[in-house]
Structure 1
Amino acid sequence: MTSSLVVDRVTVEYTAGAPVLRDVSVAAAAGRMLAVTGPSGAGKSTLLRAMAGVLRPVTGAVAVDGRPLRDRDDAVSRRVVLIPQDNGLATILTASENVQVVLVANGFSPEDARRATAESLEQVGLSAQAGQLVEELSGGQQQRTAIARGLALSGAVLLADEITSELDAANRTKVLELLRAEADRGACVVLATHDLEAAAACDAELHLLDGAAELVRAYASAPVTASGS
């Protein structure tokens, strides 16, 4: 199953009258990777949270396959997966437990959850750390655990927020290859990043600055539009 994601003239505010994103539009295609770039504070995480249904736009809409997202629960039911910048892991659980509990909550049987957890941790090179508490893992290992959890969910839309920031060069390359594999299976992948090399590995790039958006690189053979004021 493949999905497209469209952000249509979205404005997001945390404080009334002080927009973090202003009139942003972009279309992200199934089977492709879209980079969202820009300096710290430009609104990258805010845009991904809006794409994930976590934040409700003041104006505009986010739609998956032509149907607007109502909220985060609606997004989850439509297989929109968010890998957050802060990883969102429970430190008192093991790496394996952090993945399994989310899979079971999303309808996996315990057996399928165990199998998918083992596979995803192996993909990110953490098989040996599966039984370790998250609080015992390094920052990079915690980040890879969060990535493994996101990959195991096999989302139709995969939103990854600065997920290579704690990784060394070898693991960054591995993670970008895994994101490409997700796109190759038909997922719509959006990567928020300040890493120019990670952005260059994507098929298109949307640059944010002061809440406004500019499409600096379009998909080679898929329609994408972006605008900002």
Structure 2
Amino acid sequence: MKTLVVDGLTVRYDDHAVLTDVSVVAAPGQLLAVTGTSGAGKTTLLWAMAGLLKPAAGAVTVDGAALRDRDHAVSEGVVLMPQDNGLAAILTANENVQVALLAGGVTPNDAAQRTADSLEKLGLTGQAEQLVEEMSGGQQQRASIARGLAMHGTIVLADEITSELDAQNRQRVIELLQAEARRGAAVVFATHDPEAAAACDAELHLVDGRAELVRG
């Protein structure tokens, strides 16, 4: 498995610094919480970790190699579960997961099995053939999580993925993220939920784009 290192990261939108001199390590087998209020920079940090944003200063590296872009991140096994689920509304839950796997080079038989397993873990077996546009917000979010988990990433980035979920499903997702860490993945979970953060091995707290607190 692989280690993702954020070293002195600064990210700017136009002339405004959204992150300033942030450093943290996402290590294999560890579940890292990124916390902070809305606008603190949590999503920006995960997007930079995913290769979607270029640093104005500092670096994001995977096993010592600087991330060039999203394609490079994907080749390194960096999986991003976005807050807005990113699903194709006109496809079923099953199709959304399988398409992502097939695009990543998974064989059709393996894609079908991994899709079924992942949807089952999220309690969505009964909704597998349902169009995403016909699913509730919570079901859509769980389908998006199922897609991300099915990718078997070496680094898993989860951005506020429990925001639409009830208490039971929120706990289910936290346990699945913990299982990803036990599998050996480096897992980063951006959340505003103190209970969810407490279930993680370590915590990076952001205030106005700066790292104010690190636990673990």
Q: C-alpha displacement at 1:14, in angstroms?
A: 1.6
What is the rounded CA distance, in whole Å, between the counterparts of 2:162 and 2:125 in structure 1?
Answer: 19
When normalised by structure 1's length, the TM-score is 0.93
1:20 aligns to what SS in structure 2?
Answer: strand
Q: CA deviation at 1:209?
A: 0.8
The 4+ residue runs of structure 1 with deviation greater than 2 A are none
> Secondary structure, in 3 states, of the residue corresponding to 1:96?
helix
Letter in 1 for 2:96: N
Tell me, yes or no, if structure 1 residue 142 matches structure 2 residue 140.
Answer: yes
Task: Tell me what 2:80 maps to.
Answer: 82
One-letter identity of the residue aligned with 2:84:
D
* Aligned equivalent of 2:11: 12
The aligned residue for residue 122 of structure 2 is 124
Give the C-alpha shift of residue 111 in structure 1: 1.2
Q: Which residue of 2 aligns with 1:98?
A: 96
Give the partner amino acid of 1:41: G
Distance across 2 between alignment mates of 1:87 and 1:8: 28
Q: How far apart in 1 are the matches of 2:54 and 2:108?
A: 33
TM-score relative to the length of structure 2: 0.99
Q: Distance in 1 between matches of 2:162 and 2:102?
A: 26
Tell me the distance in 1 between the aligned counterparts of 2:189 and 2:105: 26
Q: Distance in 2 between matches of 1:123 and 1:155?
A: 17
Once the two structures are superposed, the pairs formed by residues 1-229 of structure 1 within 5 Å of their partners are 2-15=1-14, 17-218=15-216
Structure 1 residue 6: deviation in Å? Answer: 0.3
- How much does 1:212 deviate? 0.6
Code of the aligned partner of 1:55: L
1:22 partner letter: T
Q: Deviations over 1:27-55 (max 9, x none)?
A: 11110100000000010000000000011
Q: CA deviation at 1:102?
A: 0.4
Question: Percent identity at matched positions?
Answer: 69
Size of the aligned set, in residue pairs, is 216
